[in-house]
Amino acid sequence: MSAGNGKIGVAVAGLGIGEKHALTYLATGQCELRWVHDLDRGKAQALAHKLGVGKVAHGFAELLDDPHTQVISIASYDDAHFEQVVAALNAGKHVFVEKPVCRTTDELRAVKQAWARHRGKLKLTSNLVLRAAPVYQWLKQKIEEDDFGKVYAFDGDYLYGRLHKITEGWRKDVKDYSVIAGGGVHLIDLFVWLTGQRPTSVLAMGNRICTEETPFRYDDYVAVTLQCQSGLVGRISANFGCVHRHQHVMRVYGTAKTFISDDTGPRCRTTRDPEMPAVPVALPTLPASKGDLIPAFVDAICHDADLAAETQSHFDVISIVSASDHSLRTNSITDVQYL
């Protein structure tokens, strides 16, 4: 049931990145912000006052109980996503959730069951927002057009560059916190989304040298090798302790062309001639905002578009993340179990 004014009723939980969610929903002109919720009630009150709309919820259940709220937008801490996503789906709400959707294979199975019970009527997507970056949209098109020839290798480094957020922030208190699920997931998603291929097995290794004498208890650096049936190999790292600015470094190697994006900027090499310079790609490597995927999600609800393939792609990414974390714990090659 929509809000009384015909707009889509939205509730936002978690008001860090969630504030950007709220602003983006309002900017579409198709939504009514009905609720805001945060563990810090003062933060929720401040945002509601700033925006002049939205009631402050005492708890997450209050968002679910409102029959005029159709969308739950989840931007809470990573370990809260699973229970909130399942609860929202069980309450008949569409769900837009920050990455990761959930963190383990067992959690993913429960999420998929809750979503499948509604037979496609509920939209579920995750904010893997690098898909909205112009340079990666361009790169995806070029790969699909065979402009790169056969892609045989993909390297991606998630350089976090904000050590204090894991040694002082909430992440240090989360049981089994995973830097792959918390950051490397973006590069795993780009690997699958850009190449159109899913790895069959993974091997992960890591260390916690950068955080050795801090309250953070888990590996702050993890490198994962992904093997696909076609022979394509991916190498993804989540480097949370690095002395570096926050950045995504990527190299895509095809038989006809190579794409590189790092401190020098995105560019392509089209020849092995050492005298020939790389060709710059003059496109942004980041989306305009962290809410860039929300308007398409809202349109999908308005027009009852089929998002099943997109939702499944998010499930596939979590399957790879879960396999990577299992490989790290067991120090073994792990087959990816897709649900």
User: What's the CATH number where 28 sits?
Assistant: 3.40.50.720
Domain of residue 90, residue span: 8-129+291-304
In a domain, 2, yes or no: no
Could you please report the per-residue DSSP string of 249-289?
EEEEEESS-EEEESTT--EEE----TTSPPEE--S-SS-SS
For 91-124, letters b (16+ CB in 10 Å) and e give bebbbbbbbbbbbbbebbebbbebbeeeeeebbb
In a domain, 315, yes or no: no
pLDDT in tens, the chain (339 residues): 555 578 999 999 999 999 999 999 999 999 999 999 999 999 999 999 999 999 999 999 999 999 999 999 999 999 999 999 999 999 999 999 999 999 999 999 999 999 999 998 999 999 999 999 999 999 999 999 999 999 999 999 999 999 999 999 999 999 999 999 999 999 999 999 999 999 999 999 999 999 999 999 999 999 999 999 999 999 999 999 999 999 999 999 999 999 999 999 999 999 999 999 999 999 999 999 999 999 999 999 999 999 999 999 999 999 999 999 999 999 999 999 999
Query: Is there a single domain that holds both residue 141 and residue 255?
Result: yes
Query: Is there a single domain that holds both residue 38 and residue 75?
Result: yes
Model pLDDT, residue 2: 55
Query: Is there a single domain that holds both residue 199 and residue 275?
Result: yes
CATH number at residue 201: 3.30.360.10
Query: Is there a single domain that holds both residue 124 and residue 134?
Result: no
In a domain, 36, yes or no: yes
Size (the chain), residues:
339
Query: Is there a single domain that holds both residue 156 and residue 245?
Result: yes
The token duo for 294 is 């929300």
Nearest to 294 by CA among 30, 5, 85: 30
For residue 100, cis peptide bond before it (omega within 30 degrees of 0): yes
Cα 157 → chain centroid: 15
The total domain count for the chain is 2
In a domain, 313, yes or no: no
In a domain, 312, yes or no: no
Query: Is there a single domain that holds both residue 135 and residue 233?
Result: yes
Model pLDDT, residue 6: 86
Strands 267-269 and 258-261: antiparallel
Query: Is there a single domain that holds both residue 185 and residue 330?
Result: yes
DSSP 57: P
Give the sign of the dihedral formed by CA 123, CA 129, CA 132, CA 137.
negative
In a domain, 84, yes or no: yes
For residues 152 and 219, give the distance between their C-alpha atoms in angstroms, rounded to a whole number: 29
pTM: 0.96
